[in-house]
Structure 1
Amino acid sequence: MIDLEKLQTILKEYKRDFEQRWPAERYKWEAVYCFQTNWDFMARDFEEMFIAATAQTKDLLTSVNYYPRGVMRGFAAVNRDATRAMFSRLYDEKKDLTERVEQFQEAAEQIRREYGEGIWKQHYQKLNAISIYLWLRYPDTYYIYDYSECRVVAKELGSSFIPRRGAHAGNLIGAYALYDEICDVVGADLELQQLFHSQLQDKCWPDKKARTLTIDFCRYISRVYSKKGIGRSDSDWLPIDYSPELTVADWLDLLQDDAVFTESSLEVMRRLLDYGGMATCRQLSNKYGEPRNFYNFCSVALAKRVAEKTDCNVLNTDDEEAKWWPILYMGKRDEKDHEGGYIWKLRPELEEALQQTDLSRVSLYAYVSVLKGPHAAWWFSVNPVIWSFSSLDVGETLSFSLYNENGNKRRIFDHFLEARSGDFLICYEAIPVRKIVAIGKIVKESDGENLYLEKIEGLVHPVDFHTLENIPELKEMEYFANPQGNLFKLSRNEYTCIMDLIREENPVDHKRIIKPYTRDDFIREVYMTRGHFDTLISLLKHKQNIILQGAPGVGKTYTAKRIAYAMMREQDDSRIEFVHFHENYTYEDFVAGYKPQGAGYELQYGIFYRFCQRAANMPNKSFFFIIDDINRGNVGQIFGELMLLVEKAYRGTLITLSCNGMPFSVPKNIYIIGMMSMADTVPIRDYVLRRRFGFFELIPEFDSDGFRAYERHFDSDTFHALIERVKDLNKEIAEDPHLGRGYRIGHGYFCGQTEYSEEWLMEIVDYEIMPLLSEYWPDDPEKVRHWGNVLRSVFYD
Structure 2
Amino acid sequence: MAEQGNEVSGTLKVSCMQWMAPVLQALKELGGSAKFQQVHDQIVHDFNLSQETLTAVGGKNKVNRFDNDLRSARNHLVQGGYIDNSVRGVWTITESGKTVDMNDAFASELIRANRKATAARRKKTDANNVLGDSDVAQTRYWAYRPGAGASKWQECQQDSVMMIGWGRIGSVDQFQSQNDIQQALQQKYELVSPAKNRAHALWQFANDMNTGDVIVAVNGFRSVLGIGTVQSDYEYQPGDGEEFDHLRQVVWTVTFDDGDAPEIGQQFANKTLTEITSDEAIQQINALFDDDELDDDDDAVSTAEQTPLESYSRADFLNEVYMDGDSYDRLVAMLDKKKNIILEGAPGVGKTFAAKRLAYSIMGEKDPSRVQMVQFHQSYSYEDFIMGFRPYKDGFELRHGVFYNFCKTAEADEGHSYFFIIDEINRGNLSKIFGELFMLIESDKRNLKLRLLYSDEQFSIPANVFIIGMMNTADRSLAMMDYALRRRFAFIDLLPGFDTDGFKAYQHSLHSAKFDRLIDTVRQLNQTIAKDESLGRGFMIGHSYFSNLTAQQAGDDQTLSGIVEYELIPLLGEYWFDDPKKVEDEAAELRNAIQ
In structure 1, C-alpha distance between the alignment counterparts of 2:229 and 2:438, rounded to whole Å:
49
Instruction: Give the CA RMSD over aligned residues.
Output: 5.3
Deviations 1:274-325 (A, max 9, x none): x9xxxxxxxxxxx99xxxxxxxxxxxxxxxxxxxxxxxxxxxxxxxxxxxxx
Q: Larger relative contact order (C-alpha < 8 A, sep ≥ 6)?
A: 2
Q: Does the 8 Å CA contact 1:636/1:643 hold for their aligned counterparts?
A: yes
- 2:527 equivalent to 1:705: no
1:538 to 313, 333, 341: 333
- Aligned to 1:653, what secondary structure does the other structure show? coil
| Code of the aligned partner of 1:672 | I
Aligned to 2:555: 757
For the residue of structure 1 that corresponds to 2:295, the secondary structure is helix
Code of the residue aligned with 2:313 in structure 1: it is T
The code of the aligned residue for 2:382 comes to Y
CA shift, 1:631, in A, is 0.5
Query: What is the alpha-carbon distance in structure 2 between the residues aligned to residue 12 and residue 723 of structure 1?
Result: 67
Further displaced range: 11-20 or 524-533: 11-20
**2: distance between equivalents of 1:580 and 1:105?**
32
For 2:242 and 2:425, the matched residues in 1 are separated by 55
Which position in structure 2 is the counterpart of 1:637?
A: 432
Structure 1: segments with no counterpart, 5+ residues: 1-7, 35-50, 76-82, 113-119, 150-164, 182-221, 224-274, 276-286, 289-459, 475-492
- Cα distance in structure 1, aligned partners of 2:450 and 2:390: 22
- Give yes or no for contact 1:588–1:594 (8 Å, CA) kept in 2: yes
Give the counterpart letter for 2:471 in structure 1: M
2:484 matched to 1:685? Answer: no
SS of the residue 1:732 aligns to: helix
**Could you tell me the TM-score, scaled by structure 2's length?**
0.59
Does 2:46 correspond to 1:19?
no
Residue 738 of structure 1, aligned match among 512, 525, 534: 534
Residues 464-520 of structure 1, C-alpha deviations (whole Å, 9 max, x = no match) = 99x99xx9xx9xxxxxxxxxxxxxxxxxx84836956xx79xx99985411222211
Question: Match for 1:775: what amino acid?
Answer: E
Aligned match for 2:471, one of 671, 676, 681: 676
**Rounded Cα–Cα distance in structure 1 between residues aligned with 2:145 and 2:35:** 38
- 1:378 corresponds to which residue? none
* Aligned counterparts, 1:317-356, within 5 A: none
Q: Are 1:583 and 2:381 an aligned pair?
A: no
- 2:581 maps to 782
Cα distance in 2 for partners of 1:121, 1:686 equals: 45
Could you say which structure has the larger radius of gyration? 1
Distance in structure 1 (CA, Å) of the matches to 2:39 and 2:150: 38
1:171-186 alignment, distance < 5 Å: 171=236, 174-175=238-239
Distance in 2 (CA, whole Å) between partners of 1:463 and 1:96 is 28
* Paired residues of 1:105 and 1:125 also in contact (CA < 8 A): no
TM-score where L is the length of structure 1: 0.45
| Aligned-pair CA distance for 1:554 | 0.3
Q: Which residue of 1 aligns with 2:132?
A: none
Tell me if the contact between 1:635 and 1:686 (Cα under 8 Å) persists in the aligned partners.
no
Give the % identical residues: 35
**1:656-667 alignment, distance < 5 Å:** 656-667=451-462
Contact 1:652-1:668 at 8 Å conserved across structures: yes
Shift of 1:773: 1.1
Structure 1 residues 9 and 703: CA distance shift in structure 2, 3 A = closer
SS at match of 1:640: helix
| Matched-pair contact (CA < 8 Å) for 1:145–1:175 | no
Is 1:496 aligned to residue 295 of structure 2?
Answer: yes
Q: How many residues align?
A: 419
Alignment of 1:419-438 (within 5 A): none
Measure, in 2, the Cα distance between the counterparts of 1:699 and 1:527.
10
User: CA distance change for structure 1 residues 538 and 121 in 2, over 3 Å: closer, same or farther?
Assistant: farther
Q: Is the 8 A contact 1:628 1:675 kept in 2?
A: yes
Q: Which amino acid aligns with 2:591?
A: R
Match of 1:514 among 309, 316, 326: 309
Partner secondary structure for residue 676 of structure 1: strand
Code of the residue aligned with 1:738 in structure 2: it is S
Question: Judging changes above 3 Å, is the alpha-carbon distance between structure 1 residues 509 and 657 closer, same or farther for their aligned structure 2 residues?
Answer: farther
Aligned residue for 2:467, secondary structure, equals strand
Tell me which residue corresponds to 1:651: 446
SS at match of 2:398: strand
Q: Output the amino acid matched with 1:673.
A: I
Match of 1:559 in 2: 354
Compared CA separation, residues 122 and 546, structure 1 to 2 (3 A):
farther
1:125 to 1:615, Cα distance in 2 relative to 1, 3 A? closer
**Distance of 2:321 and 2:493 partners within structure 1:** 14
Residue by residue over 1:593-635, the C-alpha shift from the partner in whole angstroms, topping out at 9 and shown as x without a partner, is 1111111111100111111111111111011000100001111
Equivalent residues of 1:90, 1:104 under 8 A apart: no
Deviation at 1:683, TM superposition (A): 3.5
Please give the secondary structure, in 1, of the residue aligned with 2:390.
strand
Structure 1: distance between partners of 2:577 and 2:519? 24
Contact map agreement 2:340 2:466 (CA 8 A) in 1: yes
Superposed CA deviations along residues 412-451 of structure 1, whole A, max 9, x for unmatched, are xxxxxxxxxxxxxxxxxxxxxxxxxxxxxxxxxxxxxxxx
Task: Give CA-to-partner distance per residue, 1:84-118, whole Å, 9 cap, x none.
Answer: 99859976999946866654478999xx9xxxxxx
The letter of the residue matching 1:757 is G
Alpha-carbon distance in structure 2 between the residues aligned to 1:723 and 1:562: 24
Post-superposition CA distance 1:339-380 (Å, at most 9, x none): xxxxxxxxxxxxxxxxxxxxxxxxxxxxxxxxxxxxxxxxxx
